[in-house]
Amino acid sequence: NSLSGLAACAAGFVINNNVLVVAGCLVGTSGVILTIIMCKAMNRSLANVLFSGFGAAPAASAGAAGSTMQGELKPISAEDTFAVLEAARQVVIIPGYGMAVSQAQHVVRELAEMLENNGAEVRFAIHPVAGRMPGHMNVLLAEANVPYEQLVEMDAINPMMPSMDVAIVIGANDVVNPAAARDKSSPIYGMPIINAHEARTVICLKRGKGAGFSGLENQLFLLPNTRMLYGDAKASLQSVVSEFKSLANT
Q: Which residues are catalytic?
A: 174
3-state SS class at 201: strand
Give φ, ψ of 200 to 5 degrees.
-65, -40
Residue 59, number of CB atoms within 10 A of its CB: 7
Q: What is the DSSP string of 72-109?
A: ---B--HHHHHHHHHT-SEEEEEE-HHHHHHT-HHHHH
Closest CA to 218 of 237, 194, 201, 235: 194
Q: Is the dihedral of CA 105, 108, 112, 117 positive or negative?
A: positive
